[in-house]
Structure 1
């Protein structure tokens, strides 16, 4: 698209009312169809749930010149009007923006944020024509700036003005952050990166965040590109030169809040949310200085940054064939989220280790949590990880009290499938999952792929078929051979008692009482009759009728149950008090991973030389 070319589609976004959380959008279609249809997406790529963004659209009006047009609503998110040929169509509407997540839109006196899928109507028949977005600063926004990965056309020093996109897909894949945010910059492998943070406290150490993010980005760019040669997937011949980095710049947009965590990937940016307390902190020089130590949650934030940045390649470009072109009007199904989300989850922490942001012990602690989490999910025996991918629209994003019993996470189990593939390939000595990922990128030309492509590359690089492994690990509910593979790579797998909640078969919420969230299939709590929503008030050990004890946490349970084999649990359900007979089980086991052979572990986890 020529930067100064007249746009076929133009959106003007301005603030209608900060305190009412309202954006005003004016859409101009230069050459509308005689009968023009416009639609608002019902979902946003990367978050697989129909979210009904149209519920926030209001006061839609339409005109051509001075003539007001009648607008016919076709369905929940589509509108149609009869237009005069050759005359621009102008639509104006408001969007209510009060969702603090990374998926929709937000506006208040301190911050503005939106994804194009929440604000920008799609013009039928013109999705592949040039689009332009104009951002207008409103009253009381003198200290606000703009951050977005859209290409600027004419903007002021704060970033307000006009931006362009080649098509609708590009437009809505570039979220916009506005406000008096902190901003910093770094370069990774020659690529400029910007990091903006909204809501940062005075203790925030921006330099630390930039340094750590730079190390992560450089590790991931080298993972995908350093030393790569582009190979013709049909002839097998090699072309000289590296596979080009697929973007010219990148923007991180982080919103720091009291409570929250998550991210959403885009082609050359990402929107993130984290707890304000998890941001890196400046060394304390007043108020009794202590040994400087970053918050424990900061490692989780770095893992989130690593995860979303890895998606720049794995899901935004290398992506399921079923999502080669997004259909914004309905669910887009695929069985491959175990690969795109799961393998990204495998590499997010692994690349933190290779970037030198964590050590082997920390990595194994994170891996231990994942291994135990999957093993303690009864739904792994009910649903395959491929089925979990397909059902994301109705299960993963709509979790309820039965979720752990009926489904398995394509993030966590998918990451363990990636682990098992990598360790199996390494044990056989011919290739690694790293090489498989790079070869997939080249084979699919950084575009749509199918499971058949993964199988083909695995066989090409390893010398044998991996169809049996994928059938067992992805398309069945068999447990993965994690322990055996880890031990072959220098990891000691220790067995130790499970946490009390897991031994009882419960997941609970503590604080101002002890509340049951999930009752796990086959556990003693289910056998006793516990139900989601119960408040567990007290226990009484059998044979000690004079001793009933009030519970505030599960630590209280271990204190008051002692060595009893049975207790009577008092729970409140629907304002009734129930006495449940609870038989205590023998201690179940969890795993703890530790280094046994440092050389073997480093061959897998330590920073790798550039791939050749």
Structure 2
């Protein structure tokens, strides 16, 4: 992808417009209450008997084929005189227009937009959020073409927030130097609450939709701290302007990175709690760090993009996992959370990964490659068969960071690896990196081989020796559940239509080996009726198991597809971990030095 520093200089973009086919979009909203976007597309400079117009099937940063073309309706094409041109689909995401040798044509279509997420478009009478990959078509083979986008807001809508720059020649008209940039520039249109702050030499716009109990001045202060800390790592901020589009819902979350903007989901009434504030700032930190890691420093498969199909990489554990690691590192460095809280959350993250059976089945590199079929399509067996490249990748970043700091006596850490990779592959070579190149740079800075780490923890499923790395920093990982003897079934249930139904079976658990199935309705245990009472703290099944001991045999009566079955199960000791990280009282000066370098504390 072409991420030029001169991206937003109007003169350069105007030149690129004149050198290629001229493309102009006009976006309006005749029926926002019905969730439609009206798109008109004019193309001039055409040659030949036809042109194929394509809509992407996925959006960068979200690795799933979403088939955006399914939302397109009423596709029509016209000549400059207004006469209809023959047009129709030739495959799932391509429309062929018979131009009749017209050099200029107009195409109109509508897009149904009613999916709330950071990666899909949503329109109603209050606002429009446009995720460009699901709105704008491109002429086949013309991804390099520039375009203008004119927004006609609905009735009383008064504001447009986007990372694109205005042309200056027409109201509400923006310019994109190519389709990669257009597809990386979402729009928020309506009456959003907009405020600004300057940080690291960059003007930042925050566009808040949906209201909320946020304090603008506090957000400005805290977001500034994150921007400043992240910019320190790379020594440069690649933008002159950046836009946060924030959608506040009753219960919201998630984010998607873009070239000079991001879209965040948040819970509107959680800003005034410590947990809610840190959750939002962690999301800000995560998506902002993507400015460097992914949007510029990227695995080689992630750009230039093929918008027609999957773009496979084994390195999402770096692209997303390292970003997940740094999101909390930076909130700590910015003073938004204490080192103690950071370490406590780190221990919880280790528990989360190590308690997932799929962690012992699926290497994190393979989980990255399979993101297209697994990450966004979890089922009842996902926890048994795969691991998140976000959470496991963050732990790989942790042990790499500690290994580098220790091996270089504090001279370098993962920060230095990320900056060196950015300088070498984005700034100098303008290309993505291979897995081997990232490993080689890590080894160069650490001054040692990472063969074993890659073989065991990245391309393998060996349990991470956390204490090896934490001990470098005078810390130790303690499992508070190790001495317990609680009984364990290994089944998760939920209340569905008044029935207690099994929703998950943990691999190699008593429920797994005993033959309990997902979708079984549990009626009784040891001839005791299990009441369908919903308790958010403890289910009726969990209450029953809590009164048992490891080694006890129980009989479970289930309804399986209308048939009553008794299943005998022998309970075992609960294998799940509950980790915490503690300081080693006898830590030596070298260990203390590593800890201070890692946590950036005096």
TM-score normalised per structure 2:
0.88
Q: Does 1:70 align with 2:80?
A: no
CA RMSD of aligned residues (A): 2.5
Moved more, 142-151 or 57-66: 142-151
Partner-residue secondary structure (3-state), 2:34: coil
Q: 1:277 to 1:525 in 2, by over 3 A?
A: farther
Moved more, 389-398 or 365-374: 365-374
Q: 1:353 to 1:295 in 2, by over 3 A?
A: closer
Alpha-carbon distance, 1:452 to partner: 1.9
Give the distance between the partners of 2:198 and 2:486, measured in 1 at CA. 46
Please give the per-residue CA displacement for 1:83-102, whole angstroms capped at 9, x wherever unaligned: 25463110000000001111
Partner-residue secondary structure (3-state), 2:301: helix
- In structure 2, the partner of 1:588 is 575
Partner-residue secondary structure (3-state), 1:448: coil
Give the distance between the partners of 2:332 and 2:376, measured in 1 at CA. 30
* C-alpha contact 1:116 1:175 (8 A) present in aligned 2: yes
Q: Does 1:433 align with 2:417?
A: no
Q: 1:31 to 1:569 in 2, by over 3 A?
A: same
Moved more, 186-195 or 443-452: 443-452
> Which residues of 2 match residues 133-148 of structure 1 at below 5 A?
133-139=149-155, 142-148=156-162
- In structure 2, the partner of 1:504 is 489
Q: Does 1:10 align with 2:41?
A: no
- In structure 2, the partner of 1:58 is 73
Alpha-carbon distance, 1:458 to partner: 1.8
Please give the per-residue CA displacement for 1:398-442, whole angstroms capped at 9, x wherever unaligned: 111111111111111111111111111122125211111111111
* C-alpha contact 2:44 2:104 (8 A) present in aligned 1: yes
Q: Does 1:474 align with 2:490?
A: no
- In structure 1, the partner of 2:506 is 520
Structure 1: segments with no counterpart, 5+ residues: 226-243, 282-293
Give the distance between the partners of 1:175 and 1:67, measured in 2 at CA. 33
- In structure 1, the partner of 2:138 is 122
- In structure 1, the partner of 2:97 is 81
- In structure 2, the partner of 1:273 is 265
> Which residues of 2 match residues 142-181 of structure 1 at below 5 A?
142-154=156-168, 161-181=172-192
* C-alpha contact 2:223 2:281 (8 A) present in aligned 1: yes
- In structure 2, the partner of 1:261 is 253
Give the distance between the partners of 1:25 and 1:56, measured in 2 at CA. 13
- In structure 1, the partner of 2:240 is 248
* C-alpha contact 1:353 1:605 (8 A) present in aligned 2: no
Give the distance between the partners of 2:481 and 2:169, measured in 1 at CA. 60
Give the distance between the partners of 2:488 and 2:180, measured in 1 at CA. 48
Please give the per-residue CA displacement for 1:208-233, whole angstroms capped at 9, x wherever unaligned: 222221111111111221xxxxxxxx
Q: 1:501 to 1:216 in 2, by over 3 A?
A: farther
Q: 1:569 to 1:137 in 2, by over 3 A?
A: same
Alpha-carbon distance, 1:46 to partner: 0.6
Specify which of 121, 144, 150 is matched with residue 105 of structure 1: 121
> Which residues of 2 match residues 147-226 of structure 1 at below 5 A?
147-154=161-168, 161-201=172-212, 203-225=213-235
Q: 1:585 to 1:75 in 2, by over 3 A?
A: same
Specify which of 98, 107, 130 is matched with residue 91 of structure 1: 107
* C-alpha contact 2:121 2:130 (8 A) present in aligned 1: yes
* C-alpha contact 1:551 1:557 (8 A) present in aligned 2: no
Give the distance between the partners of 1:91 and 1:530, measured in 2 at CA. 56
